[in-house]
Amino acid sequence: MPLIKEEEKPKKLDFSKIMIIVVFVCCIIWITDSFVLAHLGKEVNDTVTVTIVTALLGSLVTYFVSQVRLKESRNKYCVNEDGIPFKYLEEDEEN
């Protein structure tokens, strides 16, 4: 059964995407700051940098797993991103 395509809407950023972007930007700023301070001869706490990288990797893995589970749930219940059920067309038996 073919699916009816609805009008394409511009993609909105949901909360999880915004949060992963914020975490990524903060981690990149912190790591860059760490390298700059090390280059200037300042003492840098290495454990904080390692913790930040670990937090970044953990949040990315969590985000990807949650997106996979969300996709599986949508497929199971036949709904699109907006929660609207898929509409199916019945095929003509005459063709």
Residue 89 falls inside a structural domain: no
Residue 9 falls inside a structural domain: no
Residue 54 falls inside a structural domain: yes
Residue 26 falls inside a structural domain: yes
Residue 56 falls inside a structural domain: yes
The pLDDT of 65-72, averaged and rounded, is: 85
Cα distance between residue 59 and residue 64, in whole Å: 9
Q: Which residues on neighbouring strands pair with residue 88, listed in sequence order?
A: 3
Q: What is the pTM of this model?
A: 0.64
Q: Mind listing the pLDDT tens digit for each residue in 7-49?
A: 666 777 788 889 999 999 999 998 899 889 888 988 888 888 8
- Count of domains for the chain: 1
The pLDDT of 55-66, averaged and rounded, is: 91
Residue 10 falls inside a structural domain: no
**How much is the pLDDT for 95?**
47
Residue 28 falls inside a structural domain: yes
First to last CA, the chain: 14
Residue 3 falls inside a structural domain: no
Which structural domain range is residue 57 located in? 16-77
Task: Indicate the pLDDT class of residue 57, thresholds 50, 70 and 90.
Answer: very high
Higher pLDDT, 70 or 26: 26
Q: Any idea how long the chain is?
A: 95
The pLDDT of 80-91, averaged and rounded, is: 59
